[in-house]
Amino acid sequence: MKIVQYDADISIKRDLDSGTEEQGKVVTEIIGKVRQEGDAALTYFTEKFDRAVLEDLKVQEEEVKQAYTEIDEETLDALRAAIENIRDFHQRQTTQSWFTTKADGTMLGQKITPLDSAGLYVPGGKAAYPSSIMMNVIPAQVAGVERIVMVSPPQPNGQLEPVVLVTAHELGVEEIYKVGGAQAIAALAYGTETIPKVDKITGPGNIFVALAKREVFGEVDIDMIAGPSEIVVLADEQANIAYIAADLLSQAEHDELASSVLVTESQVLAEAVAKEVQKQLETLPRKEIAQASLEQYGQIIVTTNLEESIKVVNELAPEHLEILTKEPLNIVGKIRHAGAIFLGEYSSEPVGDYFAGTNHILPTNGTARFSSPLSVDDFTKKTSIISYSEKALVENGSKIATIARLEGLEAHARAIEIRLEEK
């Protein structure tokens, strides 16, 4: 990993989620073809990008039954324990409708309604992501979404990984389609003969998925841009070198476009971590992906003091931040921008990826400045309720009419006054 000295002028923000011009063109073409040709385009692109020839886009019950025969008890136990933790965390996020009544009899309120349908993207190109099924499905279920549709790219044998099917079944998901990438996002946004349109698309994915979500936004809602994974470790001189290296590599192995950054005031630690990363990298099965990611987006930034390190972290607004300093709690209040913050040496990032209960679908590429982790809120919407009393209208009608006329909207004013005349 390259070591750089912090300089207020260095550009530390990568501009990934906007993708290259070429990637943008590819995504626009894919979306256009799916809109025009529907299922035929989905099977065409699945053959082209996933090398899978599909007989049926929809997963059949038989495939799920078969998948259970390939999963052992230990795996099932781990999945079920994670599901329980994630459900427990998300159940705490629910908000209630509320109403307030004033002395004049007016009633105002906010009604919370689950979305009718949601399309959940589960990545599957370079790895299968059963954990992302849990992270998508559980908040949607807790919110009360009636129709949950899952999409994920198939393996070259035309199947989803058994663990993907089993996890979806454990969660009670019944509508699953074997399609991924920009074509899956287009299908969920516009509908095809087989895949009906949904109201909102959520879930992480690679650059093609991220760009497609951005392009269909407006036709449907989307959660956020959750693109290639990122980690920033903020560490002081006493932090454990092997742990830092391991955690940086945990995100680098996701994708060549993933980003792993260490921010520290300690030059000694910086050099030791750079060496250790190289050593641990050698034995990783996904060495090539991790290496490419580190070469492009891996950095060790050496600052002059802790305050400067905190400034760098806030500028990066990372998806994941680990604070590995003597007193992480003293720092957390100063972090304004991060998707998830992991405190202390036992809160390794994968704890959050799989098990703690918090959601791992998080904003990337600096969008943690304004976006939040996926949550139950993403699957609900709010409606305002107004019940004005006669007394309130008589008392306030002239003020309402005045404001309407300020805007030159006479019909608005008269709609109020017609009710006052009768009194």
Ligand X SMILES: NC(=O)c1ccc[n+]([C@@H]2O[C@H](COP(=O)([O-])OP(=O)(O)OC[C@H]3O[C@@H](n4cnc5c(N)ncnc54)[C@H](O)[C@@H]3O)[C@@H](O)[C@H]2O)c1
Ligand Y SMILES: N[C@H](CO)Cc1c[nH]c[nH+]1
- Residue 5 annotated in ligand binding: no
Going residue by residue from 341 to 370, which x/- string records binding to ligand Y, judged by CB under 6 A?
------------x------x----------
Assess 297 for contact with ligand Y (CB under 6 A).
no
Which residue's C-beta sits nearest to ligand Y?
Answer: 229
Residue whose token pair is 């992302």? 132
> Quick check: 118 and 148 in contact, CB under 8 A?
yes
CB of 245 to ligand X, least distance (A): 19
Nearer to ligand Y, 273 or 340 (CB): 340
Close Cβ partners of 333 (under 8 Å, ≥ 6 residues apart): none
- Which of 280-317 are b and which e, b meaning 16 or more Cβ less than 10 Å from the residue's Cβ? bbeeeebeebbbbbbeebbbbbbbeebebbbbbbbebb
- Give the DSSP per-residue string, 286-315: THHHHHHHHHHH-EEEE-SSHHHHHHHHHH
Assess 34 for contact with ligand X (CB under 6 A).
no
**Per the structure block, which two tokens stand in for 90?**
């998300």
Nearer to ligand X, 64 or 128 (CB): 128
Q: How far apart are CA 370 and CA 375, in angstroms?
A: 15
Q: How far apart are CA 170 and CA 133, in angstroms?
A: 10
Nearer to ligand Y, 117 or 229 (CB): 229
User: Residue 82: helix, strand or coil by DSSP?
Assistant: helix
Residues 225-264 that bind ligand X (CB under 6 A): 226, 228-229, 254-255, 258
Q: Taking CA 145 as the corner, what is the angle to CA 142 and CA 148, rounded to the nearest 5 degrees? A: 110
Q: Other CB atoms closer than 10 Å to residue 339's CB: what's the count?
A: 26
- Binds 208: which of ligand X, ligand Y, Zn ion, none (CB < 5-8 Å by kind): ligand X
Residues 127-156 that bind ligand X (CB under 6 A): 127, 129, 132, 153
CB of 359 to Zn ion, least distance (A): 13
Instruction: Report, as residue numbers or ranges, the catalytic residues.
Output: 319-320
- Binds 328: which of Zn ion, ligand Y, ligand X, none (CB < 5-8 Å by kind): none
Among 131, 206, 325, 375, binds ligand Y (CB under 6 A): 131
**Per the structure block, which two tokens stand in for 78?**
């781990």
Q: How far apart are CA 2 and CA 15, in angstroms?
A: 19
Going residue by residue from 25 to 64, which x/- string records binding to ligand Y, judged by CB under 6 A?
----------------------------------------
CB of 123 to ligand Y, least distance (A): 8
Stretch that binds ligand X, among 4-12, 62-70, 201-209, 307-315 (CB under 6 A): 201-209
Report the helix count and the strand count for the chain, using DSSP H and E. 16, 14
User: Residue 299: helix, strand or coil by DSSP?
Assistant: strand
Assess 114 for contact with ligand X (CB under 6 A).
no
Q: How far apart are CA 414 and CA 409, in angstroms?
A: 9
Stretch that binds ligand Y, among 76-84, 125-133, 238-246, 378-386 (CB under 6 A): 125-133
Nearer to ligand X, 125 or 144 (CB): 125
> Quick check: 166 and 189 in contact, CB under 8 A?
no
Residues 326-365 that bind Zn ion (CB under 5 A): 353
**Per the structure block, which two tokens stand in for 152?**
């994920």
Angle between helices 130-143 and 162-171 (to 10 degrees): 20
Given the rule CB under 6 A, which residues bind ligand X? 26, 49-50, 123-127, 129, 132, 153, 180-182, 204-206, 208-209, 226, 228-229, 254-255, 258, 319, 360-362, 364
Binding residues for Zn(2+): 251, 254, 353, 412
Which residues form the interface with Zn ion (CB under 5 A)? 353
Binding site for substrate, by residue number, is 229, 251, 254, 320, 353, 407, 412
